[in-house]
């Protein structure tokens, strides 16, 4: 968690603020209660003073990528995204009570649990890759645990297109889990750097430290850490309950030469399942999207930096107060973000078509019974 105080929580219609959950490089995350339907949600809000085109582009991509992928059981579910009344983009997500960074340095995590996490997150990443998306920030703190204890991959904040051909400038990285070629800034991300990062993450969960931290507890500088990563000399985890076959899978994932690593996250998952099988544990199910699903849908636009807030309807909402009387100039309609004006004189689309929409309807409330009636009539 970043060492700064969280910003003020946004005022969001339909949600009640409960408490801050954490702070990141670009955003604060707050616990809110959604009022209807009632449930706890985590709301990620971009920091106001860093909102520029690049940040908006990353935020839009994160919302779109998560919405596209979150039907996967091991990817964090996103419910909604919009702009708050004070102008901050936000993302409403499933609330996860804990993350793997909370536990791996404090507790010895069982090998059985870690192998399960490894297969599930590998399948989540394989699915993202088949959809053309690279995560680029795989690390223990981005594996959250749902209320049911299931591991889910979160934070697609610096995700990018797998098929991007542009030389991007962004070398955002979490150094301890980054591959040598990322640390040396020769690539911003490939399937092979994701294999490395997941291998390094799983290593960390088992070892209680990241793979290139010193074991004597002496804190090294960032530069020393980078040098050790570039040398890529694998240090065995050294836990009696970690079988050599598992060390081999992780050592292969963290090979200095990208071509020597598993060729995909699916291959990594299959290697881990083999270890589970050899240990007498039932292998975790492979949950990978079929190619037809992954190829379906419009490609995510990683270049879109438009402010995409609440939809402003040009259709007047029918109510006894909104029926236009002679001489009246405007009606009021409300969205979940507040109240805005609809000019009843214009009543046309932004393309200049002479399309006037007249909405008529009413809500009839009887004693002991309620009937809602809405009629919509379009007139050229
Ligand atoms: N859905 C969630 N439920 C509960 N806590 C969350 C959720 N999403 C994020 N958090 C917590 O909020 C904090 C900030 O998350 P965020 O994704 O913004 O940043 P980060 O990954 O910690 O840092 P950075 O974005 O700089 O890499 C983290 O401590 C994370 O555990």
Measuring from atom 30 of ligand 1, which residue has the nearest CA?
Answer: 22
Q: How far is the CA of 94 from the centre of ligand 1 (A)?
A: 12
Place of tokens 């990062």: 197
CB of 269 within 6 A of ligand 1: the answer is: no
| 111 close to ligand 1 (CB < 6 Angstrom) | no
Q: Are 209 and 223 in contact (CB under 8 A)?
A: no
Residue 326 has pLDDT above 50, yes or no: no
Is 25 a pocket residue for ligand 1 (Cβ < 6 Å)? yes
C-alpha count within 13 angstroms, C-beta hemisphere, residue 333: 17
The CA 138 to ligand 1 mean position distance, Å, reads: 13
Mean pLDDT is lowest, of 117-131, 170-184, 335-349, for: 335-349
- The predicted pLDDT at position 287 comes to 94
Please state, rounded to an integer, the average pLDDT across all residues of the chain. Answer: 79
User: pTM above 0.90?
Assistant: no
- C-alpha of residue 227 to centroid of ligand 1, in Å: 28
Residue 276 pLDDT > 90: yes
144 Cβ below 6 A of ligand 1: yes
Q: Would you call 20 exposed, middle or buried from its count of C-beta atoms within 10 A (0-12, 13-18, 19+)?
A: middle
| Count of CA atoms in the C-beta half-sphere (13 A) of 287 | 17
Ligand 1 atom with the smallest distance to the CA of 95 is 3
25 vs 153, residue with greater confidence: 153
Higher per-residue pLDDT: 3 or 247? 247
Asked if the bond preceding 147 is cis, omega within 30° of 0, the reply is no
**Annotated catalytic residue within 68, 136, 228, 261:** 136
pLDDT digits (tens, 9 = 90+) for 222-249: 889 999 999 999 999 989 999 999 999 9
**DSSP-derived pairing of the beta strands 369-379 and 356-366:** antiparallel
Q: Domains plus CATH for the chain?
A: 1-95 (3.30.200.20), 96-290 (1.10.510.10), 331-379 (no CATH)
- Residues recorded for the chain: 380
Q: Is 139 annotated as a binding residue?
A: no
Helix (H, G, I), strand (E, B) or coil at 33: strand
Helix 244-253 to helix 265-278 angle, to the nearest 10 degrees? Answer: 170
Mutate to test the pocket of ligand 1, among 18, 23, 24 (most ligand atoms within 8 A of CB): 24
Instruction: Output phi, psi for 96, to 5 deg.
Output: -115, 120
Mean pLDDT of 290-315: 66
Please state, in angstroms and as integers, the Cα–Cα distance from residue 128 to each residue in 116, 133, 224, 234, 374, following that order: 19, 5, 32, 28, 42
Residue 354 pLDDT = 31
Residue nearest to atom 28 of ligand 1 (CA): 22
Strand order in the sheet with 89-94: 15-23, 27-35, 38-46, 89-94, 78-83
Q: Residue 243: CB within 6 Å of ligand 1?
A: no
Residue 99 Cβ < 6 Å to ligand 1: yes
Q: Is the dihedral of CA 316, 322, 326, 327 positive or negative?
A: negative
Q: Is the ipTM of this complex over 0.90?
A: yes
Ligand 1 centroid, distance to 308 Cα (angstroms): 22
Q: Distance of CA 76 to CAs 21, 71, 84, 143, 147, Å?
A: 16, 9, 22, 9, 12
User: pLDDT value at position 76?
Assistant: 94
CA of 23 to the centre of ligand 1 (A): 6
Specify the higher pLDDT residue, 365 or 4. 4
Minimum mean pLDDT range among 120-129, 149-158, 243-252, 345-354: 345-354
Contacts of 225 (CB under 8 A, 6+ apart): 175, 176, 212, 213
Check residue 335 and give its pLDDT.
Answer: 32
What pLDDT does residue 103 have?
A: 79
Q: Which of 41-45, 135-139, 149-153, 218-222 comes out lowest in average pLDDT?
A: 218-222
Task: Mean pLDDT check: name the lowest of 80-89, 186-195, 252-261, 330-339.
Answer: 330-339
pLDDT tens readout for residues 165-224: 455 545 567 899 999 999 998 988 899 999 999 999 999 999 999 999 987 767 778 889
pLDDT value of position 140: 95
Quick check: CB of 147 below 6 Å from ligand 1? no
> Are 74 and 124 in contact, with CB atoms under 8 Å apart?
yes
Q: How confident is the model at residue 353 (pLDDT cuts 50, 70, 90)?
A: very low
For residue 136, indicate whether it is catalytic.
Answer: yes
DSSP codes joined into one string, 99-154:
EHHHHTTTSPPPHHHHHHHHHHHHHHHHHHHHTTEE----SGGGEEE-TTS-EEE-
């Amino acid at each position: 968690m970043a060492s700064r105080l969280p910003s003020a929580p946004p005022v969001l219609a339909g949600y009640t603020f409960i408490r801050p959950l954490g702070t990141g490089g670009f955003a604060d995350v707050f616990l809110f209660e959604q009022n209807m339907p009632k449930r706890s949600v985590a709301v990620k809000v971009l920091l106001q003073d860093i909102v520029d085109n690049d940040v908006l582009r990353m935020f839009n991509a994160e919302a779109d990528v998560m919405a596209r992928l979150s039907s996967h059981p091991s990817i964090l579910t996103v419910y909604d995204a919009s702009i708050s009344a004070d102008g901050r983009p936000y993302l409403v997500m499933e609330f996860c009570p804990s993350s793997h960074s909370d536990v791996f340095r404090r507790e010895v995590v069982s090998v059985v649990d870690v192998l399960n996490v490894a297969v599930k997150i590998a399948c989540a990443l394989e699915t993202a890759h088949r959809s053309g998306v690279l995560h680029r920030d795989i690390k223990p703190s981005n594996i959250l645990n749902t209320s049911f204890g299931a591991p889910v991959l979160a934070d697609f904040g610096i995700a990018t297109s797998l098929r991007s051909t542009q030389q991007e400038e962004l070398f955002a990285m979490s150094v301890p889990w980054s591959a040598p070629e990322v640390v040396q800034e020769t690539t911003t991300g490939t399937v092979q750097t994701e294999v490395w990062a997941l291998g390094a993450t799983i290593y960390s969960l088992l070892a209680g430290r990241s793979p290139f931290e010193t074991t004597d507890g002496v804190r090294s500088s960032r530069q020393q850490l980078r040098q050790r990563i570039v040398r890529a000399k694998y240090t065995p985890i050294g836990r009696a309950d970690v079988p050599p076959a598992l060390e081999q899978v992780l050592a292969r994932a963290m090979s200095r030469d990208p071509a020597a690593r598993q060729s995909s996250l699916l291959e990594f998952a299959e290697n881990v399942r083999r270890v589970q099988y050899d240990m007498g544990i039932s292998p975790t199910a492979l949950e990978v999207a079929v190619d037809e699903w992954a190829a379906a849908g419009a490609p995510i636009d990683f270049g879109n930096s438009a402010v995409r807030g609440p939809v402003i309807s040009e259709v007047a909402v029918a109510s006894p107060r909104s029926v236009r009387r002679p001489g009246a100039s405007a009606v009021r309609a409300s969205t979940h973000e507040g109240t805005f004006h609809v000019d009843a004189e214009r009543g046309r689309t932004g393309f200049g078509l002479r399309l006037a929409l007249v909405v008529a309807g009413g809500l009839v409330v009887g004693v002991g019974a309620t009937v809602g009636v809405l009629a919509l009539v379009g007139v050229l």
